[in-house]
Amino acid sequence: MQGLSSSITERQMIFLPLRNVKGILAYLFVCCLLTYVTSQITVCAEDGTYDATVTTDSGSYTVPVEVEGGEVTYVHWPNGSDMHVYGTEIEDGEASGYNSRGESVTIELDGYETEGDEE
């Protein structure tokens, strides 16, 4: 093989494309894995207070709720008390879970969109 650097042998020259193929396949695998993982993550709107319709065993009420990390954490009642809620991960602007007494709570948020919902 004329013109090749003397530091690369003929045997090494045969395996160079294989190393490149392995590197390319590894790169593609990592890219695909990252794409899959990031597609599974729900990106939520900002944490904060949102108006919502909260339905409990006693009725439906339009009240402010506190959102942290993609979940409703508290309902703020007009009388000044707060109700802690559990298992209320927000999906498509809605959440359902339980309060501290074990009662079912359904929440519909106004103006809350995940990043994927925005157009």
User: Averaged in consecutive runs of 10 residues, what is the pLDDT profile of the chain (119 residues)?
Assistant: 58 61 72 66 70 93 92 92 90 90 92 58
Q: Which residues pair with 48 in a beta bridge?
A: 67
What confidence score (pLDDT) does residue 86 get? 92
Query: Which one, of 45, 21, 57, 18, lies nearest residue 117 by Cα?
Result: 45
pLDDT of residue 115: 54
DSSP per-residue letters across 34-75: HHHHHHTSPPP--SEEEEEEEEETTEEEEEEEEEETTEEEEE
- What is the pLDDT, as a whole number, of residue 47? 85
The model's pTM: 0.58
The pLDDT of residue 119 is 44
